[in-house]
Structure 1
Amino acid sequence: MREKFPGWYPKKPEQVAKLWETAIFVPDANVLLHCLRHTTVVRDELLRLFEALGDALWIPYQVGLEFQRNRLDVEFGALDAYDALIRDQEANIDKARDRLRQLRAHPTIDVQKELAALDMFLSDFKGRMGAARRAHPSAEIDGVLEKLAALLENRIGDKWPADKLTTLKKEGEDRYSKKIPPGYKDQKKDAGEYDKFGDLIIWKDMIAKAKAGKRAVIFISDDAKEDWWWIHRGRKMGPRPELIEEFRAEAGQDFHIYEFSQFLRFAADRFPDIRSNVAKVEESLLADEEARRRQDDAAAALERGLKQRALEDERDQIVTALAGTPGGLAAVPGDRAALRARLEELNKQIKSISEEAGQSSQHSDSAPDPDGRSS
C-alpha cells in the first residue's frame, strides 16, 4: 500500500532524516523576507541557518523575483509603522478625550485628571516611537541584503522564456479548473502570470531541479493554503498526496514540505550553531504569523461585509418591488416568479456569508495545535 499510495502516508522521522542528508532545500520568498522583518538576533540566526545549508540551498528564479518585488514593501512598511502607529494612537486618544468631555457630573471620575493622563500616555508613546525610529537598523538591513545575495550567488534557477511561459499558462488554466495542486488557490488573482501562476512555476522548477540533480527537494514555506498542504480535520499532515505522487512520477525523487517555524526546530537538532537562539527566532516568527493571520482575517471580513451589504441592498429592492411599495422598483407580473427565485438565492448567499463569518471568528479564537503538524 505504501508503495502504491506514497503520498497518503506521512513520512516517519527516520525517512525525513534520510532526506536531510541529500535533499535540496528551497525556501520560498516569504521565508527570505523574514531576514528583513525581524530583530537583529533573528536576522543573524536565519542567515546562519542558510549558511549551514551550504550547497544544498537553492531557489527558483520565481522565488527570487517575488522576493525582489516585495522586499521594498517590507522595508518601507517597517519605516512607515512609526508614524502610522502614532496616528492610530492619536485617533484613539481623541475619541477618549471627546468621550470624557461629554461626561456629565460623575461621583468618582475626575475628568481633568484622566485627560491629563491621556496626554501623558500619548506624549510617552510618541517619545518611544521617535526613539525607535532613530534606532531603525537601515544599515544593518542593507548588510543583510548583501549577505543574502552572496549566499544565493549561483544558487538561483533561470528565468522562464516567453514561449515556455505561454505553454505553462495553458496548462495552468486546465490544472486550476480541475483543482490540481499547487497554485489553484491563486486562480482569482487579476495580476500577471507571475502572480497567478507563480506557485506552479516554482513547482515545475523544483521538479526540474530534482530530476537534473537526482536529489529530493524539501520546500520551506509559510504558505498555509490547501493547494500545498494535506489538511485533515484542521491538521497539516504533510504535502498534498498529489504533489508527492506527481513529483515522483516526473522527477523520480521524493518531495517534502515544512512550515518555517517547524523547519527551524528540526534544523536546530542538526546544526548546533543555531540551537541556542532557535526558541527566540520561532517566537518572533510565530508572532509575525499571528499578525499576518489577523491582517488576512480583517481583509476577508471587509470583503465579506461589502459583498453582504450589496446582496442585502439587492434583496431590499426585490422585496420592495414584490410588495408594490410606491417609489420602489416596478415589477410586471411575468417578472414576479423570477424575482422570487432571485430573492431565495440572495437569502441563501447572505446566510452563507454570515455562517462563514461565524466560522472565521471561531477559528480566530482557537489556538493552533502544535502537535497536529507533521514532521
Structure 2
Amino acid sequence: MADPALIQRFHAWLQPAPSPEDDARCAFYQDSLIVLDTNVLLSLYEYTAESREEVFSALEQVSGRLWMPYQVGLEFVRGRRSALESRRRVLTEAAKSVNSKMMAARRAIVEARATVQKQLEKYARMPEEIAALEELASESAVEQHLAPYFSAFKEQLDKLKSGHDLAPVSVDQGDPILPRVAHLYGDRVGDQPDDNVLRDRLDEAVAFRFPNEIPPGFADMGKETPLRSAGDFLLWEEIVEHVSTLPHSSRRVLLVSNDTKGDWYANSNGGPRPWPALVDELRRRAGAELRLETQPDFYTGIGKYLHADLAADTYREIKRVSETFDPPALDSDSVITEETAPQVAPLGGLLDMAFRSAGLTSPSVRALMESLSPAHRLAQWWLIGVTAQLQRRELTEGEPSVELAAAVRGPKAPTAEWQPGRVLPPGEWIHRESTWIAPWFLDLLGATPPADRAVLSVLAAEQASENRRPAR
C-alpha cells in the first residue's frame, strides 16, 4: 500500500539524518554522479606530496563518475595561487610568531631577575645573591637555556615547509596538479551557461531565494557582487540541469564539500544535517537522489566501499585541511583578536561594507580583501573593526567584536616585530616618534597604491589616537 500523500510530499523531511553507517550510503559510492566542490579540489594544493599521491589514487577509483560544473572549474582555476600563497604565508607567520614569543620569554626572564635583584638591594643588601642572579639569568645565559626550545620549534616548522613541495610560483611556471585534475575529469566538465541563463539565475537567487533563505547559498548574500554571492546557487543549478539529462537508473548525486554553513546544513535535534529542502528539490526537479558528504567522510567512504588504500596519516591530513575551510561560527559575543583572526573568514557582506565605507578604490586592495588566504585575514578583520570603531559605518546585527590595531601609541612596541612610526615618511605618518606599527600593516601599505595607502594610514593613525584617549 502506498504511503499517504502527506508522507510522500514531505518524505525528505521525515527521513532520519544521513549517517556514515546508513544502508543507503553504499549505493552512492557504487553508482552515482560525483561532484567535488571547489574547496575539495583546492585542498590538493594543501596536502604533503605523499598524502596527495594517495588522494589522487583514491580519486582514480571514481574518475569515470566525476563531473565538474563550470562554476567549480572557474573557481578552481582562479583559486589555485591563493591556496599556495595561503599555506606559505601561514607557515612564515608561524615562524615569526615563534621567534617573537621566544624573544618575549627571554625579556620576561631578564626583567623578572631585575625585579628580584632590586628587592634584594633595597631590603637586604645581599651583593653575593645579586651577583649570582646576574650570572644565572644574564641575557646570554637565558638565551642559552632557551636555545633548545627555539631549535626544536624551528626544526618542526622547517619540516612542515620541506614537506610541502609546491610554491606559488608553481602555478605560473607549470602547475603539476592542474593537468592531473584535468585527466581525472576528461571531458566531463560543464559548459559555460549562456548570458541569458546566467542573468535569470542571478535574478532568482538575489530577488527570491536568498531573501527567503532557500538553500543553497543564502549565507553568502551581501557579497560585493551578485555573481560572487550566487556561486553556490549557480553550482546547484548546474547540477540540477545536468542530472536531468542522465538515464533514470543513474540519477544519484554525491556532492562533496567542506562547506557546512547553514545554507547547506540545517540544525536539528541530532545536530547539523543536509537541508531536506535540497534533497526534495533535486528529487522533484530532476527525479534524482542526493547525498551530501564532507571531504573526510568522502575519503572514508572510498576506502570502505571501493577499498582505496589510504594511510591513517593521510586521513588525519585530509581532516586537518578540511577544517581550514570550516571556520568557527560567529555571533555578537565573538571576539576577533590577532590570534583568532587567521582562523576565521569574514562574511563577504561585512567586508564589502567596510571596504566601501573606508573609501577604498584600488583593485589591488580589493583583491587582498577578497583573498581566501588566512594570511590576509588580519588586514580584513582590522578594516572591519576600524571602520566600525571610528564610526565610518554602522554595526550590523550579530557582528563580532574586533580587537585588532594596525598601530599603537606608547613607549614600547607590543612585540619585537612591530616597527617604530619613523619607518614611514613624515608626510604620511603622524606621531612618528611615539607610535609602533604592526608588521602585517606595513606589508599591506607596501602593496597598496598611493591613494588607498593614504586612506589606510589615516584609519590606522586615528585608531591609535582613539585607543590612547582616556575613557569618558
Shorter-normalised TM range: 0.7 to 0.9
Where structure 2 has 5 or more consecutive residues not aligned to the other structure, the ranges are 1-5, 117-128, 329-341, 348-376, 402-472
Q: Which residue of the other structure, out of 204, 207, 213, is the alignment partner of 1:179?
A: 213
The answer on 1:87 being equivalent to 2:92 is no
Equivalent pair of 2:66/2:188 in contact (CA under 8 Å)? yes
1:36–1:18 Cα change, 3 Å: same
The answer on 1:25 being equivalent to 2:37 is no
1:284–1:163 Cα change, 3 Å: same
Let me know the Cα RMSD of the aligned residues: 3.6
* Structure 1 residue 42: Cα displacement: 2.1
Paired residues in the alignment total 320
* Structure 1 residue 261: Cα displacement: 1.0
Higher fraction of helix: 1
* Structure 1 residue 158: Cα displacement: 0.9
1:312–1:235 Cα change, 3 Å: same
Equivalent pair of 1:30/1:222 in contact (CA under 8 Å)? yes
- Secondary structure of 1:151's counterpart equals helix
Moved more, 157-166 or 133-142: 133-142
Alpha-carbon distance in 2 for matches of 1:144, 1:75: 12
Alpha-carbon distance in 1 for matches of 2:382, 2:77: 33
- Secondary structure of 1:26's counterpart equals strand
Give 4+ residue runs of structure 1 displaced > 6 Å after superposition: 300-314, 352-355
- Secondary structure of 1:212's counterpart equals coil
The answer on 1:232 being equivalent to 2:268 is yes
* Structure 1 residue 208: Cα displacement: 0.9
- Secondary structure of 2:308's counterpart equals helix
Alpha-carbon distance in 1 for matches of 2:150, 2:385: 37
Moved more, 143-152 or 201-210: 143-152
The code of the aligned residue for 1:219 comes to: L
Q: Which residue of the other structure, out of 145, 168, 172, is the alignment partner of 2:178?
A: 145
Equivalent pair of 1:182/1:227 in contact (CA under 8 Å)? yes
* Structure 1 residue 96: Cα displacement: 2.0
Alpha-carbon distance in 1 for matches of 2:225, 2:313: 37
The answer on 1:254 being equivalent to 2:284 is no
The code of the aligned residue for 2:72 comes to: V
Partner of residue 43, structure 2: 34
Alpha-carbon distance in 2 for matches of 1:190, 1:313: 22
Alpha-carbon distance in 2 for matches of 1:311, 1:28: 34
Partner of residue 217, structure 1: 253
Equivalent pair of 1:176/1:183 in contact (CA under 8 Å)? yes
Partner of residue 98, structure 1: 107
Equivalent pair of 2:29/2:306 in contact (CA under 8 Å)? no
* Structure 1 residue 160: Cα displacement: 1.7
Partner of residue 277, structure 2: 242
Alpha-carbon distance in 2 for matches of 1:281, 1:135: 13
The code of the aligned residue for 1:229 comes to: Y
Q: Which residue of the other structure, out of 225, 232, 239, is the alignment partner of 1:199?
A: 232
- Secondary structure of 1:138's counterpart equals coil
Partner of residue 410, structure 2: none
* Structure 1 residue 218: Cα displacement: 1.0
The code of the aligned residue for 2:264 comes to: W
Equivalent pair of 1:35/1:42 in contact (CA under 8 Å)? no
TM-score (norm 1): 0.73
Alpha-carbon distance in 1 for matches of 2:182, 2:297: 25
Deviations 1:1-54 (A, max 9, x none): 542212111358333333433310101011112222112332122212211113
1:291–1:116 Cα change, 3 Å: farther
Equivalent pair of 1:6/1:244 in contact (CA under 8 Å)? no
Q: Which residue of the other structure, out of 3, 13, 26, is the alignment partner of 2:8?
A: 3
The code of the aligned residue for 1:269 comes to: K
Alpha-carbon distance in 2 for matches of 1:133, 1:312: 38
- Secondary structure of 1:179's counterpart equals coil
* Residues 1-375 of structure 1 aligned to structure 2 (within 5 Å): 2-8=7-13, 9-10=15-16, 13-103=22-112, 104-106=114-116, 110-112=136-138, 113-123=141-151, 125-126=153-154, 129-130=157-158, 133=161, 136-138=164-166, 142-173=175-206, 174-191=208-225, 193=227, 195-214=228-247, 215-233=251-269, 235-237=271-273, 239-274=274-309, 276-277=310-311, 279-292=312-325, 293=327, 295-297=342-344
Partner of residue 370, structure 1: none
TM-score (norm 2): 0.59
1:155–1:310 Cα change, 3 Å: closer
Moved more, 264-273 or 172-181: 264-273
Equivalent pair of 1:34/1:43 in contact (CA under 8 Å)? no
Moved more, 289-298 or 147-156: 289-298
1:121–1:53 Cα change, 3 Å: same
Partner of residue 406, structure 2: none
1:53–1:92 Cα change, 3 Å: same
* Structure 1 residue 282: Cα displacement: 2.6
Moved more, 133-142 or 65-74: 133-142
Task: Between the two structures, name the one with larger relative contact order (CA 8 Å, sep ≥ 6).
Answer: 1
Deviations 1:270-310 (A, max 9, x none): 12132x52x33331122234455364448589899987898
Deviations 1:188-240 (A, max 9, x none): 211460x2111001100111111001322110111011111132146133x21
Moved more, 66-75 or 96-105: 96-105
Alpha-carbon distance in 2 for matches of 1:52, 1:220: 15
